[in-house]
């Protein structure tokens, strides 16, 4: 449109000054910033009222800029809770992990932040039929508790597609391996805690190899039982094992009671034998010494010693026999033996104790003769005089 055309505000005597240098030169950058700040001041009431038409045209731009600025600040600030960790991706690539607190990063869409709770304990319950080392089929119910490792949150998010399913499959694989290397008695009765510990260590090792970012806190075998089809037979076997242990314990208890008693009797017999040996040795030594003394006396006085030995021997022999004294001075050939007295002193068939028959005096006539003793009496054995 020509400058002098009616309706144009710039018509009249005003004509474009194309001859002035810089007539169509755009404003400087400093001027733009100055105008921007002035517009902001006027928008918030810090400017003058002059030039209101120009201010009204610049107000939407300022508001837009302020909105973009606020949106950028809002999208770059993140509040990370105490139980959380924030995984930061910059242009789709892992950058770093945010710790709890108010944290800032690049605004969207340049950066993304994924918040992950690392203190929540997750649990997987599972069960399955497994074959033990001694070829027994059992069903094991177990549970595994785990949480996200705060040092490897990025592995939990990006290394595996489904961490929960991975944990379940790894736990099942490890439990089958552990059951296959243990006997049925070991798993059921002996040391289930050791099985749980070994399973936890092996599960953690496999999850680390897969870079799942999962930390296993506990593995617990809740129940071990046979398949329901053979449960009755299995219960009988378990009861028999328990009875076996009971009988073994009773036998050990009986042995522990009898062995010390037998050892005590053996020690007593040995002590008695030692004492008897010592007594026999002492007695033999005494007799040997007595014989040596007797031999010495015999060498000094042989005749006297022989006579003394004879008398002592006869005294020892005759002291234990029955004797009848007879009076030779009476001329009566009729002799009465006191058979009733002799029969009283005879030993009975069932009595093995020694009998002292004593001495019985027999006279031809008890009314005329008196019992005498001395050198005129002769000693006879079994009632017969010699």
- pLDDT tens readout for residues 122-165: 999 998 888 888 888 888 899 999 999 988 888 888 888 899 99
Segment (H or E) for 18? none
- Who has greater pLDDT, 39 or 378? 39
Q: Is the pLDDT of residue 202 over 90?
A: yes
Written as six digits, the tokens of 107 are 């605004």
Categorize the per-residue pLDDT at 336 as very low, low, confident or very high, splitting at 50, 70 and 90: low
In a domain, 14, yes or no: no
Of 94, 113, 132, the last residue of a domain is 113
Quick check: helix, strand or coil at residue 109? coil
Q: Is the pLDDT of residue 327 over 70?
A: no
Question: Is residue 167 domain-shared with residue 195, that is, in the same domain?
Answer: yes
Q: Is the pLDDT of residue 382 over 60?
A: no
Question: Is residue 108 domain-shared with residue 126, that is, in the same domain?
Answer: no
pTM of the predicted model over 0.75: no
Q: How many domains does the chain have?
A: 4
- pLDDT tens readout for residues 38-93: 666 665 555 544 444 555 555 667 677 777 776 766 777 788 888 888 888 888 88
The reported pLDDT for the residue numbered 159 is: 87
Q: Are strands 359-361 and 323-326 parallel, antiparallel or unpaired?
A: parallel
Q: Is the pLDDT of residue 367 over 70?
A: no
Of 69, 95, 113, the last residue of a domain is 113
Domain that holds residue 307: 233-318
Rounded to an integer, the average pLDDT of 212-226 is: 88
Crossing angle (nearest 10°) for helices 231-300 and 302-318: 140
Q: How many whole angstroms separate alpha carbon 106 and alpha carbon 72?
A: 8
CATH number at residue 138: 3.30.479.30
Question: Is residue 258 domain-shared with residue 206, that is, in the same domain?
Answer: no
Question: Is residue 155 domain-shared with residue 66, that is, in the same domain?
Answer: no
Written as six digits, the tokens of 47 are 């400017």
> From the CB of residue 249, how many other CB atoms can be counted at a distance below 10 Å?
10
In a domain, 130, yes or no: yes
Categorize the per-residue pLDDT at 295 as very low, low, confident or very high, splitting at 50, 70 and 90: confident
Question: Is residue 108 domain-shared with residue 171, that is, in the same domain?
Answer: no
Nearest to residue 143, comparing CAs of 203, 213, 209, 183? Answer: 203
Side-chain half-sphere exposure of 119, counting CA atoms within 13 A: 6
Question: Is residue 197 domain-shared with residue 161, that is, in the same domain?
Answer: yes
CA angle 249, 254, 258 (to 5 degrees): 150
Question: Is residue 131 domain-shared with residue 199, that is, in the same domain?
Answer: yes
């Amino acid at each position: 449109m020509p400058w002098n055309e009616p309706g144009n505000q710039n018509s009249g005597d005003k004509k474009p000054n194309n001859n002035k240098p810089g007539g169509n030169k755009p404003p400087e950058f400093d001027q733009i910033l100055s105008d921007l700040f002035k517009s902001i001041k006027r928008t918030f009431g810090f400017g003058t009222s002059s030039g209101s038409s120009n201010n009204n045209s610049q107000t939407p731009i300022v508001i837009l800029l302020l909105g973009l600025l606020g949106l950028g600040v809002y999208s770059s600030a993140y509040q990370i809770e105490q139980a959380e960790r924030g995984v930061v991706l910059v242009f789709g690539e892992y950058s770093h992990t945010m710790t709890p607190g108010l944290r800032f990063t690049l605004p969207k869409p340049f950066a993304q932040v994924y918040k992950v709770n690392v203190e929540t304990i997750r649990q997987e319950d599972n069960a399955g039929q497994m074959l033990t080392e001694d070829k027994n089929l059992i069903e094991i119910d177990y549970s595994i508790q785990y949480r996200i490792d705060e040092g490897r949150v990025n592995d939990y998010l990006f290394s595996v597609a489904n961490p929960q399913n991975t944990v379940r499959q790894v736990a099942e694989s490890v439990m089958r391996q552990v059951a296959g290397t243990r006997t049925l008695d070991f798993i059921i009765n002996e040391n289930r805690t050791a099985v749980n510990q070994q399973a936890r260590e092996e599960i953690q090792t496999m999850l680390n190899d897969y870079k799942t970012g999962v930390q296993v806190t506990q593995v617990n075998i809740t129940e071990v039982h046979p398949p329901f089809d053979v449960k009755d037979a299995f219960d009988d076997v378990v009861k028999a094992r328990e009875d076996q242990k009971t009988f073994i314990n009773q036998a050990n208890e009986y042995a522990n009671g009898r062995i010390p008693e037998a050892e005590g009797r053996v020690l007593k017999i040995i002590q008695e034998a030692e004492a008897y040996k010592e007594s026999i040795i002492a007695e033999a030594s005494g007799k040997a010494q007595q014989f040596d003394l007797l031999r010495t006396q015999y060498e000094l006085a042989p005749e006297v010693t022989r006579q003394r030995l004879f008398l002592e021997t006869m005294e020892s022999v005759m002291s234990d026999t029955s004797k009848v004294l007879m009076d030779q001075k009476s001329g009566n050939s009729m002799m009465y033996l006191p058979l009733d007295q002799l029969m009283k002193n005879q030993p009975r068939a069932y009595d093995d104790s020694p009998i002292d028959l004593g001495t019985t005096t027999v006279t031809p006539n008890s009314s005329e003769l008196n019992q005498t003793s001395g050198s005129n009496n002769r000693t006879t054995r079994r009632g017969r005089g010699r």
